[in-house]
Amino acid sequence: MNILVCLKQIPDPEIPARDFRIADIGSANLVSDIFGENALETALQFGGKITVLSFGAPSAEDTLRKALAMKADAAALVINDTNPNPDPLAVAQVLAAAVRKLGGFDLILTGRESGDWGAGQTGSLLAEELGLPCVSFVDSIEGREGGVRLRRQTESGFEVIEASTPVVLTITNDEHNVPRIPKVRDVMAAHRQPLTTFTLADLGVDVSNRWYEVIEMSIPTKETACEFLTVEELAQRLLEVTAGA
C-alpha cells in the first residue's frame, strides 16, 4: 500500500511548566510531534511505501530527515513563509493540495493531536477536504481484502473497524507504536536522500486563517504549598481524606 504520514515540527513539549514563557515559544528547541511519530511507527510496522509530508518552516526538514532515518521512503515539505500560526483548516487545505500533487495514497495518517496547539482537527479536516472517510484514535492497522482492519481506542476499551481505502486515520499511542530510535548510520544516510519541496505558490493555496483566530493567550498560575510528611503521617492523612470520599 501507499501510505502518507503527516508530520509537524513543534516546540519541545517536554519543557517543564516552570520554564515555559509565551515570549520564548519562537526560540524553543524544535522536535517532531509525538503523535505524528506514533503514526509513522504504526505505518512502518504495517509496511508499504511510506511518504512523509510536512507543512512548516524550512527547519521542518529536520523532522522529515528524522522520519527518513526511521525508514520512511520519501519526504515532501511545503514551505510556510506566510502564516506562522495557520489554523487547522489552512493546514488541512495545504496538506490536501500536496496530497493531490503527490497522488495515489491508500492510507493517510496524522497524529490524533499535535503537542503544541493540540487542535485535534487536522486529520478530520484533511479527510473532508479530500472527500474521504476518516477514523480517529486508531492504534493498529491490519490488511484485509479491499481495505484495512483497524483497532481504535475508546474511553472504555477498543473497537474494531473495517474500512475501505483510501481512508484517513488519526493515530493515538499505545505500547506497540512507541517511535523507534533511528540508527546512526540511517541518520547519516537520510541526509543524502532527496526531499521534494513545494512553495505555497506551487500549490496555489490561501493560508490565511478562516477557521478560527487566537484572541488571547496567558499562563495560568496555580501553585499549592506541599506539606512533606512521614509515612505515619501520610497513612493518617490518606485515611482522613478517603474517609470523607
Partner 1 sequence: MNDVVIVLFGNDRAAEGLAGAAQRLGGTVRAIRVEEYQPEECLTALAEECKGARAILFSNDTYSQEVAPRLAHRLGGSCVGDGIDVQFVDGRLRVTRQVYGGKAEAVIALKRTPGVAWLRARSFAPGNAGVPPAGPPPSRRRDAAEPAGEDAGAPKTRIVERTASQSEARLEDARVIVSGGRGIGGPEGFAQELQPLAQLLGAQMAASRAACDAGWVPPTWQVGQTGKKVAPDLYLAIGITGASQHMAGISEAKQIAAINIDRDAPIFKHCRFGIVEDYRKVVPLLRQKLSELQR
**Is 115 a residue that touches ligand FAD (CB under 6 A)?**
yes
| Continuous segment of H or E residues that includes residue 96 | helix 88-102
**Is 65 a residue that touches ligand AMP (CB under 6 A)?**
no
Minimal distance in Å, beta carbon 168 to ligand AMP?
A: 10
For residues 155-174, which are near partner 1 according to CB under 8 A?
Answer: 155-164, 167, 172-174
Please give the Cα distance from 65 to 62 (Å, whole number): 5
Please give the Cα distance from 214 to 82 (Å, whole number): 17
Minimal distance in Å, beta carbon 186 to ligand AMP?
A: 21
Compute how many residues bind ligand FAD; rule: CB under 6 A. 4
Burial tier of 148 (Cβ tally within 10 Å: 0-12, 13-18, 19+): buried
4 contact, one of ligand FAD, partner 1, ligand AMP, none, CB 5-8 Å limit per kind: none
The set of cell numbers assigned to 150 is 483497524
**Is 234 a residue that touches partner 1 (CB under 8 A)?**
yes
Q: Which of 61, 113, 129, 139 binds ligand AMP (CB under 6 A)?
A: 113
Shorter beta-carbon distance to ligand FAD: residue 15 or 57: 15
**Is 220 a residue that touches partner 1 (CB under 8 A)?**
yes
**Is 117 a residue that touches partner 1 (CB under 8 A)?**
yes
Please give the Cα distance from 224 to 244 (Å, whole number): 21
The set of cell numbers assigned to 60 is 521542518
Axis crossing angle, helix 122-130 with helix 88-102, rounded to the nearest 10: 50
36 contact, one of ligand FAD, ligand AMP, partner 1, none, CB 5-8 Å limit per kind: ligand AMP
Cα-to-chain-centroid distance, residue 188: 24
For residues 1-60, which are near ligand FAD according to CB under 6 A?
Answer: 13-14, 34
